[in-house]
Amino acid sequence: MVIDIETLEDRYIDSCRRHDVFPNSSILSSLFKAEVKKSNHELCSLEILIDDLKDADIAPLFDLCMNFDASEIEAVDVRNESSCVLNGEYALSLMRAINQKLRVVHLQDPSFGKDFLRDISQRGLACQVLTLRCSRFRKLNFMGEFMHIHTLNLDFSSSLTSFQEDCFNCMPNLMRLSMCDTRITNLWTTVAALSKLPSLIELRFQYWQYCNDAVTSFISSSVINHDVQSMVEDSSDDSEVDFTSRHHKYWLSDVFPGWSSEVPLQNENEDGEESLQAAFTDSNADVSMKYMSRHASPICYEKHYREFMIASLPNLKNLDNMPIRKIDKERATGIFSQYFEYLPYKWKHKESVVSILQKREIKSVHNKVQSSKHRLSYPSGKSQYFYSRSLSAAKLGSSTWPILHPLSFVGCELDKGFHPRQFEYHPSDSSLMVFGTLDGEVVVINHETEHILSYIPSLGAMNSVLGLCWLKKYPSKLIAGSDNGSLKLYDIYHIPRKVTGLHGNFGCVTFDEFDQLTSVHVNSMDELFLASGYSRNVALYDINSGKRLQVFTDMHRGHINVVKFANHSPSIFATSSFDHDVKMWDLRQKPIHPCFTVSSSRGNVMVCFSPDDQYILASAVDNEVRQYLAVDGRLHLVFDIAPTDSSQNYTRSYYMNGRDYIISGSCDEHIRICCAQTGRRLRDISLEGRNLGSSVFVQSLRGDPFRINLLASSDHANKDDSDDLRPCPFHSMGG
């Protein structure tokens, strides 16, 4: 027999009497409103405002919830609009007691804490609409049961930066998702996570408002109160929820009207255009004139954001409350193919590594049969790198998330951690790496096993190690230079692995100092090396004799940040300076005048040669990355990386996979991988600090044939202070 609302009210009052508490006026009011809805033939829903509840109200309310399944109540909404005194565990128990009739959960009080959010994400809820505004999620990781949810609102979650790979697997029926005013930035990981939502048709990271006279009044009526207060809690054991950043308080009015649990999707006509959006013309260029963005997350400022999302999520019908029309999809497809790569080497479809290995083995057997008849050639005109590049594409396509972990070192008796500042891969042994520290130490490690092979302490002779370079023909030797001018050559085979006191000069050659050094580089014959620093001069040293041969003065108008020899021409080198110039020089011409000079609009952070010396890659402050022909300095390619308008956003770029791709990293942003021939972006890699709320600044960046590795800092204030070596194996890209 169905329990009517009047009976529910009587039972609630009886329960309050048994528990010796007064009936909560808010609950009685909600029961009365539900009765009115029933009499008006509306959906008989009950709203519980937990702001009005105290811990003492919970016991009789639990008793009431036990009757819901057999009652006239069709749906129960649980809301929280302001600061709440109710214990978070009681709030969770209440929502679970309501069970299958739970329809809407609307929470925006961050004071419930990390255990509350963790419980929701790990156990799930039976609701259809879930709003977690101002939540302290840092990395989204839903794992519980959310089978009924069709709308999820995470607006104003200002700590939210990223997603776990499978965070949405538990929401197969999710249709609407809103993440306005979060800190989401990475297009690739965002799309990879959202692609697990087969029913998703509405998505927003910002809210576009039509610019007419009504906008002003709307903004005035939904003003956000920017009263900000700090809130610090112990979160050392919780890597998914951030409790150190600021949070906002909002007025009770909904900032974004028209997207509630009861509002259906906006109707579309046959062409996919909405009558309400008639003013939205065919050209997206008109959007900026007719619409105003509100509460945009950083991802919205990524270049070609809208086109990328539309092309990558083909089932979307509405993005940022703007309809997606047929013309939008066509334009997005064109923009994506022009500025982005789906997979390396123009692969169109993902293929498994096993499949490619099987094809290679089958072809190998076939070639052996044919080899006795005629000379081997690569199939269908394919290059000798076909299979290595195919494996690269397969590995990259297998996951959008890089394998990211800080290196921890064993094999050295130290009572303190390292503070790395610079590192270089070994030119022939892919497992070896040398890094220099802010304390003047030089450490050779096997970065695959994380074992220290050689350790050179500072011993008061060096400050921060800023210059490192391996010799190519003598692979056990390397040059190390520090910012106090010290320059030494070491043989790692003559250096002990463990710290056993003073070492003396094991395998060490000392060169004349170069004041305020920032860069060293050895030529292709291992005969000479160059040093540059915070001056306009470059010094040339003879490795065999240990003498400084010459100092080339006034090579630039500003200090020379980096000097690099060509990889194959022992007399050719390039310099980059904060005077905006990159110059090519030839020792055979006694460098007085450069072979050519190319200029950037800002100071140049670095320059390097492609492995075959066909190009030079110049990186200037704030993402100005250009590729030039090494033979004459003609501009070959400008990489389309959006600036941040920050004079402190130092950008560094290197080649990887021969000269197929480049990696570019900046102090204030994530790392980008771009095709070196077309400039198209293949992938962005976001980095996270080990401490909650910390930023990671790229200080040094290198690409090897197997991984992308970088040195990052997690210091808020000082971008020149390093914390750890952070290797990022982003799969082999071969070739």
Model confidence pLDDT, tens digit, residues 249-303: 332 233 344 454 443 444 444 344 443 344 444 444 455 557 788 999 999 999 9
Domain count, the chain: 1
* 276 falls within a domain: no
Give the H or E element holding residue 392. helix 386-398
Is the residue at 149 inside a domain? Answer: yes
Q: Is 366 helix (H, G, I), strand (E, B) or coil?
A: helix
User: What are the backbone angles phi and psi of residue 140, rounded to the nearest 5°?
Assistant: -70, 130
Q: Answer yes or no: is 390 within a domain.
A: no
Q: 279-288, pLDDT tens digit by residue?
A: 444 444 455 5
Q: What is the dihedral of CA 114, 119, 121, 123, to 10 degrees?
A: 170
Domain hosting residue 94, numbered range: 8-171
What is the 8-class DSSP label of residue 163?
E
69 falls within a domain: yes
Q: 659 falls in which pLDDT band (50, 70, 90)?
A: confident
Query: pLDDT tens digits for 411-448?
Result: 555 555 788 888 898 988 888 889 998 888 899 998 88
Burial zone of 569 (CB within 10 Å; 0-12 exposed, 13-18 middle, 19+ buried):
middle
Structure tokens of 423? 């590192």
Q: Within a domain: residue 681?
A: no
Longest Cα separation, the chain: 101
**% the chain with pLDDT above 90:** 51
* CA 202 – CA 635 distance, rounded (Å): 43
Question: H or E segment at 709?
Answer: strand 708-713
pLDDT tens digit sequence for 305-354: 999 999 999 999 999 999 999 999 999 999 999 999 887 766 666 666 66
pTM here? 0.79
Examine residue 447 and state whether it is found in any structural domain, yes or no: no
Element spanning 90, H or E: helix 88-98
Q: At residue 94, does pLDDT exceed 50? A: yes
Domain membership of residue 238 (yes or no) is: no
Query: What is the per-residue pLDDT across 21-51, written as a single tens digit (0 to 9) for each?
Result: 999 999 999 999 999 999 999 999 999 999 8
Q: What is the DSSP track for 180-207? A: TTS----HHHHHHHHTT-TT--EEESSE
Residue 455 inside a domain? The answer is no
